[in-house]
Structure 1
Amino acid sequence: MRTTTRARFLAGLVSGTLLAAMPAQAAEPPTVFAAASLKNALDDIAGSYAREGKPAPRISYAASNTLAKQIEQGAPADLFFSADLDWMDHLAKQNLIRPDSRVSLLTNSIVLIAPKASRAEVRMGPGLDLAGALGQGRLAMGNVAAVPAGKYGKAALEKLGAWAGVKDRVAQGESVRAALLLVSRGEAPLGIVYATDAAADANVRIVATFPADSHPPIVYPVALTRDSANPDAAGLLAYLRGPTAKAAFERQGFTVLNRSATARP
């Protein structure tokens, strides 16, 4: 560095003018832990958010139970977006979310799917003969003890009298998207996923939709985590409740609720 340039550099450090002229460090983007079934919609929303000049959020997708346990173990998430109330309640009981930020944002439905080329048909309703429709195959579902879509699916099958006939023939995935993939690849003749998952995969078709009264209400709550220190996290949560996000969710087949959820509906 030439002497005159070095002198100016040092003078700038003393006066603070050089530091003022330097570009500000980019803001750290907020981190979202989100249910796997939200991927298509949230990827779209994250892109819109970034195009508006905000730091694009980092999004980790997995089953809600997996994400909740990671937060419980200290994973650095700013927002938790669950596919059911149970796992949000689980964190709330441990004071790991900010209750005043919690909102029940979306609802969905569960459907029975088959590979696109399949000719499988079922009569949905009480007395559902799902075992007969499966033939020698297995039923793809999310883990029925922990994954929200699996829990909803098991409840529906129990209500319709079909669970006893298929419980030993279930291929349980670690998330609803894992169950979707089994059917999409033709590795399972039938599966239970959200309607939004079925709409996102051209290799599957909806065979039937489960009645809404056959399972607990499907509700997706979102909240800030207790330990979030990211200044943009609250703004991102507000954006998720805004018109741009609403349109993105609806394009994927979700119904937007936009209501407070400090208690169960």
Structure 2
Amino acid sequence: MLRIFGLLTIICTMLATVAPGRADAPVTIFAAASLRGALDAALEGAGADVRVSYGGSGTMARQIAQGAPADVVILANVAWMDWLQEQDLVDAGSRRDLLGNRLVLVGPKGAAPLDRVDAAALTGRLAGGRLAVGHTEAVPAGIYAREWMQAAGLWQALRPQLAESENVRAALALVSRGEAPLGVVYASDAQADPGVVVLAEIDARLHAPIVYPAALIAGRDGEAARGVLSHLQRDAARQAFERHGFVVLGDDR
């Protein structure tokens, strides 16, 4: 009997030790690559141990669908979040349209201004080089760029000269390193990289609205994760996003 009592005491002690460890586990965020830097700044003062994994929105969404252990997801495209929600992989009640952005056309630092943005001017500036974009079928920035090119009548002329990347930061790097004479990226990306210069702002009427939805992952919506998502909607976090070139959406401060 004493042995049984001793064993029960050990088990209870182990359970008491494990329970706080789960409460203190880090909150993992899967986030669109274009949020790098801005999200890090916005998370300051979140009051939790937060770890962020950055990548293309499509890649992040597919990894979550395959069971990757994320607690919060922030994507750069509504369609990918809709896809997750349709599979009941996110807590629909926690979903928020957190941020907005703009598309810009960039060149390497020191590039001459563009007099106009049409097929002749752009192909002339490319001079056989490539226009860096996110993948036009899967990466949100690339999808928006394709919509713009199609609406502006540029798609047929520019499609053969595209350099499609796995995420928008990879496209930005091609321009910053001088490997591509032009690129289409978010305004926040251009602001973050001193190696590029904005040559033109792209008419937002020529592509779908750029929205960054955020949500808790279904079944992983603990108190710490909820606290982090709430923190990202407070004034200090919003101001950090704005400093990094994002547009803050919503009014629930």
- In the superposition, the TM-score normalised over structure 1's length comes to 0.84
| Residues 128 and 160 in structure 1, CA contact (< 8 A), matched pair in contact too | no
Aligned to 1:61: 54
Deviations 1:70-118 (A, max 9, x none): 0000001111101010100010110101111000011100000000022
The answer as to 2:34 corresponding to 1:40 is no
1:2-151 correspondence to structure 2 within 5 Å? 25=21, 27-49=24-46, 54-124=47-117, 129-151=121-143
Identity within the alignment, %: 46
| Residues 127 and 160 in structure 1, CA contact (< 8 A), matched pair in contact too | no
Q: Distance in 1 between matches of 2:196 and 2:203?
A: 20
2:175 is paired with a residue whose SS is: helix
1:83–1:137 Cα change, 3 Å: same
1:113 is paired with a residue whose SS is: strand
2:208 is paired with a residue whose SS is: coil
| Residues 104 and 199 in structure 2, CA contact (< 8 A), matched pair in contact too | yes
Structure possessing the higher radius of gyration over alpha carbons: 1
| Structure 1 stretches lacking a partner, 5+ long | 1-12, 261-265
TM superposition shift of 1:227: 2.4
CA root-mean-square deviation: 2.3
Q: Distance in 1 between matches of 2:221 and 2:209?
A: 32
Aligned to 1:192: 184
1:183–1:201 Cα change, 3 Å: same
| Structure 2 stretches lacking a partner, 5+ long | 1-8
Q: Distance in 2 between matches of 1:69 and 1:128?
A: 38
1:249 is paired with a residue whose SS is: helix
Aligned to 2:4: none
TM superposition shift of 1:163: 1.1
* Number of residue equivalences: 239
Q: Distance in 2 between matches of 1:163 and 1:259?
A: 37
Deviations 1:155-197 (A, max 9, x none): 0011111111110111111000000000000000000000000
Deviations 1:32-68 (A, max 9, x none): 000001111111122332xxxx223100000100000
